[in-house]
Each structure stands twice: as C-alpha cells, then as structure tokens.
C-alpha cells in the first residue's frame, strides 16, 4: 500500500513539473510573440501567462493534497480499513464463588486382582468348567487336571503304610497270646520247683540235725562201752552224708529260684513288648509313609482348580490338553467383582483429599447413569520424579466400567472466589485457550490459562485482569487486531 502511495506522489510531482514546463513554454512563446507583434498583442500575452500560472497552481495543489493523504481516494481507503468486521457483545470478567474441583484420571482395574493356577506340574488339563466374564463363588470348580497317575501312587503308598503299621504292632508286642500263656505256665512250674527243692532242703536239714544228735549220743555210749566203735563211726558217716544232702538241696533251691527268676523276667518282657529301638524305627517308617500319603492326597486335591474367593473371571489362559506348570496362571479374577480407579494426583493436591470423599466419574459409556466413586485410600508413597501419588477410588461395578478402561473425574473440595468469563468467550485451539480483549474499537487476542468450569462460566487462572472487556458473542469469528462494533444490547 505504501508503494502505491509513493507511485502516486511521483506521478503527481511529474504532472506538476510538466505543468510548470508548459507554463514556461507558453510564457516564452508569449514574450516572443510580443516582441514580434508589438504592444498590440499585450492582451493575448497576459492571458497566456495567467493560464500557465493557473495550471501550475492546480498541479501544486494536487501534489500537496496527495502528500497530506487527504485525497478522496485515500480517505475512502482509510475508512474502508477501519470499518468494523463484526458487531459483538462484550462483558467484564466477574469474580464468582466456584467449587474447587480436583481433576483425577487413571485406569480402571480390579480392586484385588487374583491369579489362579496349578501348583502341580506335568499334569494334563482334563476339564474347563468356566469362561471369561462369569461370576463364580468361593470353592467353585473351575477346571480339573488328570490325576490317574497320582491316584495309583496313592494306593501304593497306602499299602506300604498298612505294612508299616503292622510292623509297629509286632515291634510293640512280638509275642502271641499263646506264647505269653506258655511263659506264664513256665513261671508257675518254676515256682513249684522252688517249693519242692525248698521242702527237700528242709528235710535234708532235719536229717542232718538228727544225724548230728545221734553222733553225740553214740560218742557218749561209746565211752560207756555200750556201742562199738564201728557203730559210732557209722553214725558219723550218716551225718556226713546228711550234710552233703543238705548242701545239694541248697544248690537245688538256688537253681530253682534262678529258673523262677528267668521265667518271670521272660514273662515280664513278653508283657512289655519289643525293644524300644525296634519300636522307634518302626514308628519312624510309619510317619514317613504317612507323609507320602498326605503329599499325594494334597496333590490330588490340587488337581481340582477352585475359586479361592467370590468374584468375576476377567481372563482365561488355559485350554484343554495343556500341561500344567507351577507358577503359570490359568485364570485371572477380580475379587468380589470390585473395581477401583487408580488416579495419579499431584502431591500439592493431597491436602484436599481424604478417604471417604465422593468422586464424580465422567460417563463415556453413552448412558445417562451418574457414576460416583469413593476415595478408599491414599498411597503413602509419592513418586520422587513425577511428584505424583496414587489415590485408590472405589467405583461401582454395575455401571458398565471394565478393568483396563481409562477414566477421568473430579472431586469437589470446597468453594473459592475466582475471576470468570462466559464459556463462549474462550476460544480453544491446539490445546491453547484465548480470549479477545477490546481496546477502543479494536480487539487483541490474549492467551489465557483456564481453570474449572461452573455452569456457563469458566475460571481464568492467568492472562486476564479484572476490569478488562472481553468479547463474548462473535469471538469465534475474529482475528487479532480486528475492528469491531459493540452491540448496545
């Protein structure tokens, strides 16, 4: 535009110079004519000079007007540039009390995710009785593994156990009842033998005492000459024999008593049973086999895959014919079918959140149901890099939410005063928010930071001052530095 004006000015100057040259030529021609024609033509000469001066003055005036920008064309163009492009309405920002809303977002997940698998490896999956999305009860059978090999091992171990138990009984009491009865009879016989030998000893002692008395009498009779030496010696021999019989009887009594003692000890041992060492060994063998039986019974019970709690099966990773492996998950389930939102919240906002507070979850499912969660707990650990903490929010499982979904919501934590403008005054584009601020009859595009929204009002966090006028109606059709007309209504 400036180039066009310069060109016009140059053209005007050129026209003025041409006018001056023409006036000069006319003046020279008039002077020359006057010399040739004489004073008689003076009137014609004066007329020519006046015409030249008028032309020169007109050119100078045109140049002056163009230079000052007051030509009719310039005025028309200036009026066209400053003409309003749109009639808009404006409004001053208002300070209003609004609810403080803390935004929360994160993923929906199971409240207590549970992995279910086999604890016994190497067994084939025989049956699958449930599928994903099914609600199950605690103890409900989900799948079975082939237990035929384990059952065979169990029967073998049970047979070994029965044999070991019999061995223990034999170790505890190795004698049969008839053996004990025989030993009891032997004791009785030994007791009778002791009695007989003791009686024989008494008889032998009596005979010996009688023999000694006879010896004393025969010694006296011998001295008196009543009996012969031979008879007296015969009595002494009898006494010696009786003494020997007494000693023999005493030995028999001792032997009989020893036999009785042996019989009694044997009977007592028969009543007591086997040796303690043998019994302990037999009992240890029983315990070992019992442990094998219990292990096999446990493994067989583990071939029945059951639900540990009530809940919802969220995933099935097992198929018929699979080989079980300890540590490999077969089913995933959500305990009690409870869901939670794990929201990441800045540490600066934790002061406003308490367990039990209600959380409004944005409904993106296309239904009209209001989804409300409840803050259950706040993680005591804060991410040192992101400065975020995890807030666990219980969400209803009957509103269509599913594990893995992304969800957003907010928590109302009280009111505060904030600068607000109508929502239609804010233009959002490329993740940036702007408003148009009116200065006289021209608008300025202003970058702002928007906050919470309450009804049709939006909080202005920064970028706008109280008292400035912002365009409301028509803001979406403007660009920076546009001229506008302000509606009076």
Q: How far is CA 99 from CA 380, 453, 459, 463, 475, in A?
A: 27, 9, 10, 21, 26
Q: Pick the more confident residue, 432 or 11.
A: 432
Which pair of structure tokens corresponds to residue 396?
């209803």
What is residue 344's three-state secondary structure? Answer: strand
CB 130, CB 142: distance < 8 Å:
yes
Instruction: Using the predicted structure, report yes or no on whether residue 19 has a pLDDT greater than 50.
Output: no
DSSP letter string, 196-250: HHHHHHHHHHHHHHHHHHHHHHHHHHHHHTSS-HHHHHHHHHHHHHHHHHHHHHH
CATH class, range 103-110+335-414: mainly beta
- Token reading at 9: 């000015």
Q: What are phi and psi of 426, to 5 degrees?
A: -100, 130
Q: How much of the chain is in helix, strand and coil states, percent to nearest 5?
A: 45, 30, 25
Residue 270 has a pLDDT of: 77
Please state the domain extents for the chain: 2-81, 86-99+416-486, 103-110+335-414, 121-144+303-333, 175-272
Residue 100, C-beta contacts closer than 8 angstroms, at least 6 positions apart: 352, 412, 413, 414, 415, 416, 452
User: How confident is the model over 370-404, as pLDDT tens digits?
Assistant: 889 999 999 888 988 889 999 999 998 888 888 88
Please name the residues in contact with 283: beta carbons below 8 A apart, sequence gap of 6 or more. Answer: 168
Q: What span, in angstroms and rounded, lies between the C-alpha atoms of 333 and 130?
A: 12
Mean pLDDT of 416-433: 91
Distance CA 267, CA 185 (A): 10
Three-state SS for 431? coil
Answer yes or no: is pLDDT of 222 > 90.
no
Out of 81-85, 108-112, 287-291, which region has the weakest mean confidence (pLDDT)?
Answer: 81-85
**In CATH, what number does 86-99+416-486 get?**
2.40.420.20
3-state SS, residue 432: strand
So what's the pLDDT on residue 154?
94
- Within 8 A by CB and 6+ apart from 370, the residues are 360, 363
Nearest to 256 by CA among 315, 191, 210: 191
pLDDT of 21 over the 70 cut: no
Distance CA 32, CA 55 (A): 21
Q: Which two tokens stand for residue 356?
A: 């039990």
Q: Does residue 398 sit in helix, strand or coil? A: coil
Evaluate if residue 414 carries a pLDDT over 50: yes
- Distance between CA atoms of 430 and 191, rounded to whole angstroms? 120
Using an 8 Å Cβ cutoff, are 136 and 310 in contact?
yes
For the segment 350-377, what is each residue's pLDDT rounded down to a tens digit? Answer: 888 999 999 999 887 777 778 899 999 9
* CB-CB contact of 358 with 372 (8 Å): yes
Enter the tokens of residue 185: 């009879």
For residue 139, name the pLDDT band (cuts at 50, 70, 90).
Answer: very high
Nearest Cα neighbor of 217 from 208, 227, 207 is 227
* Tokens 């365009």 found at: 471
Q: What is the DSSP letter of 113?
A: E
Question: How wide is the angle at C-alpha 211 spanned by C-alphas 207 and 212, nearest 5°?
Answer: 120
d(CA 233, CA 244): 17
Q: Which two tokens stand for residue 324?
A: 């079980």
- State the DSSP code for 60: H
Angle between helices 229-272 and 177-224 (to 10 degrees): 160
| Chain centroid, CA 459 distance in Å | 36
Q: Is 421 in contact with 460 (CB distance < 8 Å)?
A: yes
For residue 77, the model assigns a pLDDT of 53
CATH topology (fold) of 121-144+303-333: OB fold (Dihydrolipoamide Acetyltransferase, E2P) (2.40.50)
Q: pLDDT (tens digit, 9 = 90+) per residue, 435-483?
A: 999 998 999 999 999 988 878 899 999 999 989 999 999 999 999 999 9
First and final C-alpha spacing in the chain: 37
What pLDDT, on a 0 to 100 scale, did the predictor assign at position 489?
63
The mean pLDDT of 243-265, rounded to a whole number, is: 89
Gap between the Cα atoms of 277 and 171, Å rounded:
9
Dist CA 396 CA 339 (whole Å): 7
CB atoms within 10 A of CB 237: 11
Please compute the mean of the pLDDT values over residues 31-50 and round it to a whole number.
Answer: 41
């Amino acid at each position: 535009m400036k180039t066009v004006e310069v060109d016009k000015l140059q053209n005007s100057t050129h026209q003025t110079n041409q006018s001056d040259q023409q006036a000069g030529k006319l003046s020279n021609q008039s002077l020359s004519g006057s010399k040739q024609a004489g004073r008689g033509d003076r009137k014609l000469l004066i007329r020519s000079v006046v015409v030249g001066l008028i032309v020169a003055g007109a050119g100078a005036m045109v140049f002056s007007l163009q230079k000052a920008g007051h030509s009719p064309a310039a005025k028309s163009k200036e009026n066209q540039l400053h003409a309003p492009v749109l009639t808009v309405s404006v409004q001053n920002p208002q300070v209003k009390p609004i609810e403080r809303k803390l935004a929360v977002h994160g993923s929906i997940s199971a409240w207590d995710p549970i992995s279910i698998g086999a604890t016994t490896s190497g067994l084939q999956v025989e049956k699958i009785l449930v599928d994903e999305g099914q609600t199950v009860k605690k103890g409900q059978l989900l799948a079975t593994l082939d237990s035929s090999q384990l059952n065979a091992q169990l029967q073998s171990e049970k047979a070994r156990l029965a044999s070991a138990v019999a061995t223990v009984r034999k170790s505890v009491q190795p004698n049969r009842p008839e053996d004990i009865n025989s030993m009891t009879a032997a004791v009785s016989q030994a007791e009778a033998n002791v009695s007989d030998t003791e009686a024989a000893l008494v008889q032998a002692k009596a005979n010996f005492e009688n023999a000694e008395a006879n010896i004393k009498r025969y010694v006296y009779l011998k001295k008196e000459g009543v009996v012969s030496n031979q008879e007296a010696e015969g009595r002494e021999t009898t006494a010696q024999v009786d003494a020997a019989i007494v000693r023999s009887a005493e030995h028999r009594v001792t032997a009989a008593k020893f036999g009785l003692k042996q019989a009694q000890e044997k009977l007592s041992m028969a009543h007591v049973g086997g040796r303690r060492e043998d019994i302990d060994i037999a009992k240890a063998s029983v315990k070992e086999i019992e442990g094998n039986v219990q292990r096999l019974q446990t493994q067989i019970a583990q071939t029945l895959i059951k639900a540990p709690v009530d809940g919802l099966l969220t995933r099935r990773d097992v198929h018929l014919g699979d080989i079980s492996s300890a540590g490999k998950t077969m089913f995933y389930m959500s305990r009690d079918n409870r869901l939670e939102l794990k929201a990441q919240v800045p540490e600066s906002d934790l002061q406003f959140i308490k367990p039990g507070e209600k959380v409004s979850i944005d409904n993106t499912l296309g239904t009209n149901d209001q989804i409300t969660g409840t803050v259950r707990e706040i993680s005591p650990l804060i991410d040192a890099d992101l400065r975020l903490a995890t807030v666990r929010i219980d969400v209803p499982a009957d509103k269509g939410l599913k594990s893995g979904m992304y969800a957003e919501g907010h928590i109302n934590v009280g009111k505060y005063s904030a600068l607000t403008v109508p929502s239609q005054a804010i233009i959002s584009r490329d993740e940036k928010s702007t408003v148009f601020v009116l200065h006289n009859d021209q608008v300025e595009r202003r970058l702002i930071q928007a906050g919470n929204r309450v009804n049709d009002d939006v909080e202005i966090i920064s970028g706008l001052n109280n008292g400035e006028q912002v365009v409301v109606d028509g803001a979406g059709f403007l660009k920076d530095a546009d001229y506008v007309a302000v509606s009076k209504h």
